[in-house]
Amino acid sequence: MSVDIEYLNTINEHEWREFTESQEKAGIWHTLEWCDILANEYGFKSKYLLAKDKDEVCGVLPLFQIKSPITGNRVVSLPFSYHCGPVATSDNAYIALVQESQKIANDLGCKYAEMKMLTPLSEDVVQKCNLTENLYFHTSILDLSSNPDDNWKKLDSRRTRWAVNKAIRSGVTIRTETDINDLKTHHKLKIQTRKKHGSPAPSFKFFKKIMDCFEDKGYVKLWVAEHENDVISTLMFYTYKDVVMPAYIASNDAYNSLMPNNLLYWRSIEWGCNNGFKYFDFGRTEPNNDTLLRFKSKWGCNNFKIPYYYYPHQPKLMSQNRNDAKTGFIRNTWKKMPDSVLELLGPQLLKHVG
């Protein structure tokens, strides 16, 4: 099998779309809409690769270069996407794609290349490409039934079912028809939520671009939780292929005792069951965040480690060293800044993270 590599262009865009739509392992972050969103928001340079065997696409690998004076120069598949990486129909195609990404990293003077995967690459690919595997993050994925009652029974009765029922008893309601004003509220609440954790939030433009690119295709929804006509919590979630994925949740801390987030999660799980989706992806969790991992586990999730791959070696990553002195100082400073300042600085700082 002879595999050739092409770079994405206007002529072969349709081939990228057809291949990714046909491949189970290709997710929302492999779409060209997501490429447009990231390039528009952060100005990253894309390097999207197609592997071909006799003019037939047999693999793809989306890449962005992040060049930062703070966090260094690297190529990533993909920034702000907890799993992406190559998708291919054979080990030969995987090897050709990964080796081309390594050439790109070398030609651009990058310190490393990073590929974020949900499932492992074969040992043959890892060895032939001299990759370093890192199993740091967990992910939590819930199997959805066609009957929501089956998923309700999986919930922890002492905590999760109790929290959902409390939200209902407290008069919290979920509104699924939302508009631009709800999106603005979502952005403001996201700034406040990230501030509490000492981390930056994306811009309003970023969230609007997601809605503009995906909503008409049915790939994203924005729902809000209300109490006495006030929006107290918001959830933006992806609905791609057979996966429902809560991407951005934000809430007003003054109403946390009403458990609006739990009700938002449950209603979106219920919706996924009723609309034929197979999985509810709660996303990745750092291993030292036991509280969050327990929260996800109480929904009946399966938790497992996800593999990230590095070449030529694994660097020291900010995402895996959040407790060092420098990171701690930045996070504590961020928590003290006014929201208006964070709204301006957040997207600028995120450009260096990826």
In the predicted structure, residue 242 carries a pLDDT above the cut 60 = yes
Q: What is the pLDDT of residue 324?
A: 61
- The per-residue pLDDT for 325 is 58
User: What does pTM read for this prediction?
Assistant: 0.93
Q: Which range among 49-53, 259-263, 289-293 shows the weakest confidence by mean pLDDT? A: 289-293
The mean pLDDT value for 140-152 works out to 97
Q: Evaluate if residue 24 carries a pLDDT over 60.
A: yes
Residues 6+ apart with CB under 8 A from 181: none
DSSP string, 264-332: HHHHHHHHHHHTT--EEEEEEE-TT-HHHHHHHHTTTPEEEEEEEEEES-----GGG-TTSHHHHHHHH
Instruction: Return the bridge partners of 18, or none.
Output: none
What pLDDT is attached to residue 115? 97
The predicted pLDDT at position 354 comes to 76
What percent of the chain stands above pLDDT 90? 83
At the topology level, CATH places domain 140-304 in Aminopeptidase (3.40.630)
pLDDT in tens, 150-208: 999 999 989 999 999 999 999 999 999 999 999 999 999 999 998 888 889 999 999 99
pLDDT of residue 332: 78
> In the predicted model, is pLDDT for residue 66 greater than 80?
yes
| pLDDT at residue 336 tops 60 | yes
Out of 53-57, 58-62, 233-237, 331-335, least confident range: 331-335
* Averaged pLDDT, 216-231: 97
Lowest mean pLDDT among 79-83, 261-265, 328-332: 328-332
Answer whether 4-130 and 140-304 agree in fold.
Answer: yes
d(CA 174, CA 235): 10
Q: How far apart are CA 29 and CA 238, in angstroms?
A: 10
Q: What is the pLDDT of residue 322?
A: 56
The pairs formed by 55-58 with CB atoms below 8 angstroms and a separation of 24 or more are: 57/15, 57/16, 57/18, 57/19, 58/3, 58/88, 58/89, 58/90, 58/93
Beta strands, E only, the chain:
4-7, 45-46, 49-53, 56-61, 64-68, 72-77, 87-88, 112-116, 132-143, 173-175, 220-227, 230-240, 243-251, 279-285, 302-311
Top-tier CATH class for 4-130: alpha beta
Domain residue limits, the chain? 4-130, 140-304
- What percentage of the chain exceeds 70 in pLDDT? 96
**The pLDDT of residue 286 is above 60:** yes
